[in-house]
């Protein structure tokens, strides 16, 4: 499972061109623009990537403002008291936080290229698969921050998804909501393999490895994917308590 080092870190051609540098203390909130949807994000946050994937998949025009999560701008806690990303900010001042809520809102509000199934049963099954990503994310973060004993638990979590994958994508013959909601952690497995020694075994997860290759060709994924080397640079800086939020950002 290889990831191109030329991948874009942020979003789509529809995204408004403003500085992608992350904002911290002392910065001013960029003024809202009439008719523009704003997403507060952080390049390396998998939860924010969920929203960027949906925006890219549905080709929704938006602007992005990146936030330094460890040292937030003073104004951001007024926008979102939770202090988290992603968060939508509308031109009338309303806001909407939380990755699943943001992603569901976008799919409901922009009905073209619908991602969430209309069939109640299929929708429920997708939600089960999304909620079950904790089988991977829990041990993922333990392993990321030095608990090598969590490696087998990641693989066990992948076993679950290997068993559930019975088509080209978890949503069927094309990517749908569930695929975009779980992909950010699957994308980061390559980083864990290359730089943290995670023992990913293609023989054990043959269907998933093929799925990974298909997903990397999906336009929305190509628009938001982060190279493993860039992730390594960021996480090394994060461990030093001085995160380099802007590593890999050209402007």
Residue spans of the domains in the chain: they are 15-114, 120-230
- State whether residue 118 is helix, strand or coil: coil
**110 to each of 13, 124, 248, how far by Cα in Å?**
17, 21, 31
Which pLDDT band, with edges at 50, 70 and 90, does 10 fall under?
very low
Query: In the predicted model, is pLDDT for residue 241 greater than 90?
Result: no
- Among positive and negative, which fits the CA dihedral 173, 178, 184, 187? negative
15-114 CATH, one of 3.40.30.10, 3.30.450.40, 3.40.50.300, 1.20.1250.20:
3.40.30.10
Among 8-12, 45-49, 200-204, which stretch is predicted with the lowest mean pLDDT?
A: 8-12
CA separation for the pair 196, 190 (Å, rounded): 9
Buried (b) or exposed (e) across 125-148, using 16+ Cβ within 10 A?
A: bbbebbeebebbbebbebbbeeee
Task: Evaluate if residue 90 carries a pLDDT over 50.
Answer: yes
Instruction: Tell me the torsion sign for CA atoms 230, 233, 239, 241.
Output: negative
Half-sphere exposure of 17 (CA within 13 A, CB side): 3
Asked if 38 contacts 250 with a C-beta cutoff of 8 angstroms, the reply is no
Nearest-10 crossing angle of helices 189-196, 134-144 = 30
Q: Which helix (H) or strand (E) holds 222?
A: helix 219-224
Q: Return d(Cα 153, Cα 148) in angstroms, integer.
A: 10
User: What Cα–Cα distance (Å) separates residue 87 from each residue in 45, 84, 115, 224?
Assistant: 12, 7, 20, 17
- What's the confidence (pLDDT) of residue 18? 56
Residue range 120-230, CATH number: 1.20.1050.10
pLDDT category of residue 251 using cuts at 50, 70 and 90: low
User: With 60 as the cut, is the pLDDT of residue 197 above it?
Assistant: yes
Dihedral sign computed on CA atoms, order 46, 59, 82, 17? positive
The answer, yes or no, to whether residue 146 has pLDDT greater than 80, is yes
Quick: pLDDT tens for 38-62. 999 999 999 999 999 999 999 999 9
206 alpha carbon, distance to own chain's centre: 23
**Mean local confidence (pLDDT), 84-102:** 98
DSSP-derived pairing of the beta strands 87-89 and 62-66: unpaired
Distance CA 52, CA 43 (A): 10
- Mean pLDDT estimate for the chain: 93
Cα 248 to Cα 245: distance, rounded to the nearest angstrom:
9
Residue 106 · residue 61 · CB < 8 Å? no
pLDDT at residue 186 tops 90? yes
- The residues that are catalytic are 45
Lowest mean pLDDT among 8-12, 100-104, 117-121: 8-12
Q: What does the pLDDT read at residue 249?
A: 84
Full-model pTM? 0.92
């Amino acid at each position: 499972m290889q990831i191109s080092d030329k991948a874009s870190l942020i979003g789509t051609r529809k995204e408004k061109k403003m500085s992608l540098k992350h904002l911290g203390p002392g910065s001013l909130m960029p003024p809202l623009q009439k008719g523009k949807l704003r997403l507060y994000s952080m390049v390396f946050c998998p939860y924010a990537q969920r929203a960027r994937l949906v925006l890219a998949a549905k080709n929704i025009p938006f602007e992005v403002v990146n936030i330094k999560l460890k040292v937030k701008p003073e104004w951001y806690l007024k926008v979102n008291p939770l202090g988290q990303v992603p968060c939508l900010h509308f031109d009338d001042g309303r806001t909407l936080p939380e990755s699943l809520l943001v992603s569901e809102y976008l799919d409901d509000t922009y009905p073209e290229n619908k991602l969430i199934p209309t069939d109640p049963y299929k929708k429920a099954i997708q939600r089960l698969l999304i909620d079950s990503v904790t089988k991977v994310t829990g041990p993922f973060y333990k392993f990321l921050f030095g608990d090598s004993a969590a490696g087998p638990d990641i693989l066990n979590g992948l076993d679950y998804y290997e068993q559930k994958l019975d088509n080209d994508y978890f949503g069927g013959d094309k990517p749908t909501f569930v695929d975009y909601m779980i992909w950010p952690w699957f994308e980061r497995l390559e980083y864990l393999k290359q730089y943290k020694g995670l023992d990913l075994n293609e023989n054990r997860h043959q269907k998933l490895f093929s799925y990974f290759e298909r997903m990397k060709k999906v336009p929305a994924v190509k628009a938001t994917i982060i190279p493993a080397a860039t992730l390594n640079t960021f996480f090394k800086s994060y461990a030093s308590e001085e995160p380099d939020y802007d590593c890999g950002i050209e402007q």
